[in-house]
Homo-oligomer: A and B are copies of this chain.
Amino acid sequence: MFAIGVVAQFEAAHRLRGDFGPASRLHGHTYRVEVEVAGPQLNDDGTLFDLGLLKAWVDEAVGELNYQNLDVLPAFAQRNSTAEEVARFLRETLAPRLHGKGLRMLTVRVWESPQAYAACQWELL
């Protein structure tokens, strides 16, 4: 099994709805995003998938969140802007572009700070 991964970043404000202590107040983070795709074999050119294209797609998805208040974005109108939901949003944004490319698995990890992250993993067809 092979995998490639890219790292991106965005700067955003948010608050959590519910009883999350200080995280219920408006605050912000420098989010670090790690996106990995995995598949069983390399192409003839020695790549699993075009790393530059993956980076461009991740940057595009992350760009929608950069310098924003997450809680006023349509993506988080119906859900809390937890790191888990940010990861799920990025997976939902990226997965359609990654289907049918010989890849098996997509993993998105979202660090809210250098000390805490959430991740989600999704099978690709």
Contacts and interface: CB of A to CB of B under 8 A. Distances in A.
Q: How many copies does the complex hold?
A: 6
Interface residues of A, number: 58
A12 B51 CA distance: 18
A73 B61 CA distance: 32
A115 B6 CA distance: 5
**By CB atoms of chain B within 10 A, which of A27, A45, A113 has the most?**
A27
Given A51-B116, A120-B3, A27 B69 contact: yes
A113 B117 CA distance: 17
Interface of A: 1-9, 11-14, 16-18, 20-23, 25-30, 36, 42, 45-48, 51-52, 55, 66-69, 79-85, 87-88, 112-121
